[in-house]
Structure 1
Amino acid sequence: MDLDPRLLRYFIAVAEERHFSRAAVRLHISQPPLSYAIRQLEDNVGARLLTRSSRHVELTDAGQVLYREALTLLRQAEEVRTLVQRVDAGLRGRLRIGFVGSMLYRGLPALLNAMRAELPDVEHVLTELNSHDQIEAVRRGEQDLGFIHANPLPKGVEARDLVAEPFMVCLPQAHPLAGRESLRLADLAADDFVFFARAASPSYYETVLAMCVSAGFTPVIRHEVRHWLSVASLVSQGLGVSIVPACLSRSGLAGTRFIAFEHAARSVSQAIWPGAARSPLQEKAVELVARHYSAAGPTGVHSFQPCSTDRSCP
């Protein structure tokens, strides 16, 4: 049975106008093609749909059933067409987003609100993962968009710098140096350190270690954890000191003090995404990220220059 949408629309017009001439005017066609189309539809369904007289048209029982079903079928067809067009335009679908915890203090919540406002029909699935795991997930096509600490990237993964900010010393509230406004890193040479785990982000580990060595000492690393908030939490419990991105000073974690020190290194956040065969939704998401962070103002936000896929961004 061929339920041609064109024939269904013609039939609906006749059923509602109860008159072939008025239906033809409504459809902007002449009456003979309309009459032929209704006969063709009746042949297709194998039932008489209308009773005709010189004055008006009445629906048969079969015609009344087809009228109701035709309205439903055409509405569903329009919904499918609209859905397909919105998916093709990147306005519908499912966006799998990974993030490191420090992004909660680097504009990620505001970005997600903006994405929900602009893409209300997109399902946003968030997963907290360390940088290394996100890079692998994006490379394997298991994650559409990631927010990481700057790391060397494999081929097939593209990135943009988002935010660059200094590091700060994180001390327990009871530490003898906690009352200072600034200090030298060498002042902490005798302290135990809490480090961000090497396995979670080798580049971060090496950056922090290099700062200590440049200050004239090799730190005693007592604890390694996989999340920056865990680093700060251990410090708050008096289990060591640490060097953390300045954004963590906005975490409001009780029992900690964040103090500036002299250094040249910067903590850089990146957005990452698949380098090839991106969907329209992924393209839309990358565009929104660029627009959001470009408009964030002079708070350490970098200009959006593409990063090489085989090295870490500065």
Structure 2
Amino acid sequence: MVMLAHKADFLGKLPHIRGRLVEDAPLSRLSWFRTGGTADLLFEPADADDLIAFLRALPTDVPVTVIGVGSNLLVRDGGVAGVVIRLGRGFAGIETRGDIVKAGAGAMDVHVARKAQEAGLAGLEFLVGVPGTIGGAVRMNAGAYGREVKDVLLHARAVDRLGHVHELDLVDMGYSYRHADVADDLIFIDAAFKGTTDDKATIAARMDEITTARADSQPIGTRTGGSTFKNPEGGKRAWELIDEAGCRGFAIGDAMVSDKHCNFLINRGKATAAEIEAVGETVRARVKEASGVELEWEIKRIGREAGEGAA
């Protein structure tokens, strides 16, 4: 166990929680890459009140890392120090009222899009092309097929490291391409989006187009982390730069640049997180050499290298 020295003392003093708390929890099963080490502690709160109570009891020197369904995540092989918080079923509610869609941070993006369609609300169709949950989408201004969260977000709620609740309007988010200018310690718990009334069949058709385009162009069904690098401002897209640098199909062990879409890395079976990251860094170096463009990771990488000591 590589938790902080006062872990046992903290666990003994922890107030009653209704969620699930696991020591030495394997994170590979929670990552779409299916790689990575363990979390010193994994906490899956029952609801927002449970999360707040836990954070208020947690010593301030214990690091906290938040994950969703692991769709755009690489967990390093040495695991994650401190507490990993995962928002699950207690945060997966979705409801519509008028032209507003409210969703918990643990709700899958695709489910939010479908709920909006069922209510005859357009504008959120792009979410069927965004793997992951609403919490991550709000945090990174996720987008696909010409739309992004900033185009539909009304407001969101988040809890900080000390357990204080914050309400943020769109302007508070400071959105730019795949980025929100908000404090790193904020854990988003829910958000509200504005749709526009439209014919349900028409909305469904647009969603089907996105789903088909995604299946045709991306390695759906593989062990992947989604789009690996952000598209640079202006000029060519990341996949074009990677292709022109001769990296399509490049592999280290079972970690490989997808032949189908070369801005996707895939685990062909037994790749380690280190191998996946090494493939990504090799791609960045070759693209830099070939084009002068320095690609920026879009996938979130967390944790320690194998053999690295506790933080």
TM-score normalized by structure 1?
0.23
The structure that is helix-richer by fraction is 1
Higher relative contact order (CA 8 A, sep 6+): 1
